[in-house]
Amino acid sequence: MTEKSNNISPKSKSNSSEWPLFEIFIRSKNGLEHRHVGSLHAADSDMALENARDVYTRRQEGVSIWVVESKNIMASNPEKAGELFEPAKDKVYRHPTFYELPIELKHI
Amino acid sequence: MSTQDLEQRFQDRIDAGEKIEPKDWMPEKYRKTHIRQISQHAHSEIVGMLPEGNWITRTPTLRRKVGLLAKVQDEAGHGLYLYSAAETLGISRDEMTEQLLCGKAKYSSIFNYPTLSWADIGAIGWLVDGAAIINQVMLTRTSFGPYARAMVRICKEESFHQRQGYEIMLTLCRGTAEQKAMAQDALNRYWWPAMMMFGPRDEESPNTAQSVKWKIKRKTNDELRQQFVDITVPQAEFLGITVPDPEMKWNEDRGHYDFGAIDWDEFWQVVKGNGPCNKERIAARQKAWDDGKWVREAAMAYSQSQENKTQSKIA
């Protein structure tokens, strides 16, 4: 695999009658963003929403659900993580502490 | 449910400190106000890259170059966060671009002033980003969820911008008499435009009351401006340079600095398109849009051809 990105859907030997996999995102509280909580199989997105409600919000863990079919999510290749993320490592000048200001200075 | 009931329930949610999300019911005016405000904020980030970009090839040292590059790069990213937040309200990216280019959508007037000397880069980081931070910290608590969350990310990333600018000012002010004079000159030219960044005075700002009621803004223009003055004047004193306002003085009773009148005629002239660089800024954005056309088209054509290939393989 030479590409940088890859579909997150596992390449299993499942037969074509298996329900597709969906990734589930939950907004835990008003004002917060949706976060990935896991995945489940469902025949379509409506069923995925209903099942996500039953599986992931039984104890009021959420106020909103997003579902997206796993095959529609592309993921970066872990083997390429080095070349993707290491370039940011030596860029200290993107951080506030790189700039030297006297401590007696206020509100900056 | 009647519109009046919906509006009442909406206001109750706002009053209770709840965030509003794109799929929630909202008054049409709330939606429109947000589209206008968020897209103009996004345009300001993008147009704001131009005055600073002007100095990237001419920084005095490599250290200054990497800092300025990183700052301008951040602003491109901030524009993107904001455009995305506006898109959740049902306006497309292309529509927003069009509104900027035809002059229907505004951006912060400060970016219509030229960057004449290297000290201006210091003054912009210190004053312009300083003013923007005061406004944006308030906006992290704004009532529209996607906007508030974009602001949290932006504020976190922006903390280095102002320090970068102030460090430039400090270096100049501790340098030769000529360098210090450059810093003073930049402060003289950027002070009043920075004061204008908070918008018209409260009594001249008819939308403020509604915006505060909907918690789009949590403080009025004049409150934010006062906060900026109180924080910035001691920072100028620390540099040993003077804010160009003879009426600026500490008021013991109020516990704030008093300051002189702002030239609002200048502000409105610049808003209307008659600032020193309005035409140049829009021309630069128009050129970027036009020059990028073949790239946008080529990328779509490539994507289409890949899809066709996959489909013919399946068939």
Three-state helix/strand/coil letters over B90-158: CCCHHHHHHHHHHCCCCCCHHHHCCCCCHHHHHHHHHHHHHHHHHHHHHHCCCCEHHHHHHHHHHHHHH
pTM for the structure as a whole: 0.93
**Integer Cα distance of B180 and B14 in angstroms:** 49
For residue A74, give the 3-state DSSP assignment: strand
Q: How confident is residue B25, by pLDDT bands cut at 50, 70 and 90?
A: very high
Say whether B170 and A94 touch across the interface (CB within 8 A): no
Residue B70 near chain A (CB below 8 Å): yes
* Two tokens, residue B9: 């329930």
For the cut 90, the answer to whether the pLDDT of residue B315 exceeds it is no
For residue A33, give the 3-state DSSP assignment: coil
Say whether A91 and B66 touch across the interface (CB within 8 A): yes
* Among B19, B4, B281, B50, residue whose Cα is nearest residue B149: B19
Q: Provide mean pLDDT across the span B42-66.
A: 97
Residue B226 near chain A (CB below 8 Å): no
Q: Provide mean pLDDT across the span B204-230.
A: 94
Give backbone dihedrals phi and psi of B55, rounded to 5 degrees, phi first: -110, 0
Q: In the prediction, which pLDDT does A6 show? A: 77
Residue A100 near chain B (CB below 8 Å): yes
Closest B-chain CA to A88 = B70
Number of cross-chain residue pairs from A and B with Cβ atoms under 8 Å apart: 50
Q: Which residues of B touch A93 (CB under 8 A)?
A: 63, 66-67, 70, 160
* Among B260, B265, B189, residue whose Cα is nearest residue B225: B260
Contact B202, B220 (CB under 8 A): yes
Among A14-18, A59-63, B28-32, B245-249, the range scoring the smallest mean pLDDT is A14-18
Residue A60 one-letter amino acid: Q
Residue B166 near chain A (CB below 8 Å): yes
- Residue A57's Cβ-count burial label (10 Å; 0-12, 13-18, 19+) is middle
Task: Compute the residue count for chain B.
Answer: 315
Say whether A99 and B160 touch across the interface (CB within 8 A): yes
Residue A108 near chain B (CB below 8 Å): yes
**Integer Cα distance of B161 and B124 in angstroms:** 9
Q: Provide mean pLDDT across the span B130-134.
A: 97
Q: Provide mean pLDDT across the span B183-193.
A: 98
Residue B127 to chain A, least CA–CA distance (Å): 11
Q: In the prediction, which pLDDT does B24 show? A: 96
Q: What is the mean pLDDT of chain B?
A: 96
Residue A91 near chain B (CB below 8 Å): yes
Residue A87 near chain B (CB below 8 Å): no
Percent of chain B with pLDDT over 70: 100
Q: In the prediction, which pLDDT does B187 show? A: 98
Contact A18, A41 (CB under 8 A): yes
**Integer Cα distance of B162 and B169 in angstroms:** 11
Q: Between these two residues, A106 and B120, which has the higher pLDDT value?
A: B120
Q: In the prediction, which pLDDT does A13 show? A: 62
Q: Between these two residues, B293 and A11, which has the higher pLDDT value?
A: B293
Q: In the prediction, which pLDDT does A8 show? A: 80
pLDDT, tens digit (0-9, with 9 covering 90-100), for B153-174: 999 998 899 999 999 999 999 9
How many other β-carbons are positioned within 10 Å of the β-carbon of residue B94? 10
Residue from the list A30, A100, A107 with its beta carbon closest to the beta carbon of B167: A100
Q: In the prediction, which pLDDT does B1 show? A: 83
Q: How confident is residue B97, by pLDDT bands cut at 50, 70 and 90?
A: very high
* Among A84, A102, A67, A50, residue whose Cα is nearest residue B235: A102
Q: Provide mean pLDDT across the span B232-248.
A: 98
User: Which of A63, A94, A97 is best to mutate for the B interface (most B CBs within 10 A)?
Assistant: A94
- Residue B216's Cβ-count burial label (10 Å; 0-12, 13-18, 19+) is buried
Helices (H), B245-277: 264-269
Any idea what DSSP says for residue A35? E
Residue from the list A30, A98, A100 with its beta carbon closest to the beta carbon of B160: A98
Say whether A98 and B67 touch across the interface (CB within 8 A): yes
* Among B48, B41, B112, residue whose Cα is nearest residue B271: B112
Q: In the prediction, which pLDDT does B239 show? A: 98
* Two tokens, residue B42: 């996004």
Contact residues, B window 5-24, toward A, CB-based 8 Å cutoff? 18-19, 21
Average pLDDT per run of 10 along chain A, which is 108 residues long?
Answer: 66 76 97 97 97 96 97 94 94 94 91
How many other β-carbons are positioned within 10 Å of the β-carbon of residue B78? 26
* Two tokens, residue A22: 């969906």
For the cut 50, the answer to whether the pLDDT of residue B89 exceeds it is yes
Say whether B70 and A99 touch across the interface (CB within 8 A): no
Q: In the prediction, which pLDDT does A15 show? A: 65
Q: In the prediction, which pLDDT does B83 show? A: 98
- Kind of pairing, strands B256-258 and B249-251? antiparallel
Contact residues, B window 120-139, toward A, CB-based 8 Å cutoff? 130
